[in-house]
């Protein structure tokens, strides 16, 4: 068994999350960055059966984002991290960062973000 870190950066999803009613009603883009630590035999077997299929991780994040509207980025990130650990036993640590690239503030910013890490 080996410890492997898989990263998915910039998974772009449209969601109805935010602190204001308008954000939740109109929706906006969110970018998800996943850093997943696996305990796996995949480095020896070169088999998808012994690792995490990226498509499945991305699909779960979409499912969680679509399931309900979150007020806080940190709550959305936590739901994703916890969901990844529950669904995929190979994941030992799930770190999820949710970025909001279209945030509007008085002074322009690139994005706002929250990062949550959960472990078994």
- Catalytic site positions: 100
Q: How many whole angstroms separate alpha carbon 40 and alpha carbon 71?
A: 35
C-alpha distance from residue 60 to each of 16, 39, 43, 111 (Å): 17, 20, 24, 23
Cα 4 versus chain centre, distance: 18
User: Could you tell me the strand order of the sheet in which 28-40 lies?
Assistant: 2-15, 28-40, 91-100, 112-119
Which single residue is written with the structure tokens 């322009």? 108
């Amino acid at each position: 068994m080996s410890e492997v870190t898989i990263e998915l950066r910039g998974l772009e999803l449209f969601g109805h999350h935010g602190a204001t009613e308008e954000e939740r009603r109109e929706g906006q883009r969110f970018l998800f960055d996943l850093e997943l630590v696996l305990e796996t035999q995949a480095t020896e077997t070169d088999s998808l059966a012994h690792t995490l299929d990226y498509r499945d991780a991305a699909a779960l994040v979409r499912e969680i984002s679509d399931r309900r509207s979150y007020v806080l980025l940190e709550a959305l990130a936590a739901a994703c991290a916890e969901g990844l650990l529950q669904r995929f036993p190979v994941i030992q640590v799930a770190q999820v960062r949710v970025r909001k690239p279209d945030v509007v503030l008085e002074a322009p910013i690139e994005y706002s973000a929250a990062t949550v890490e959960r472990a078994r």
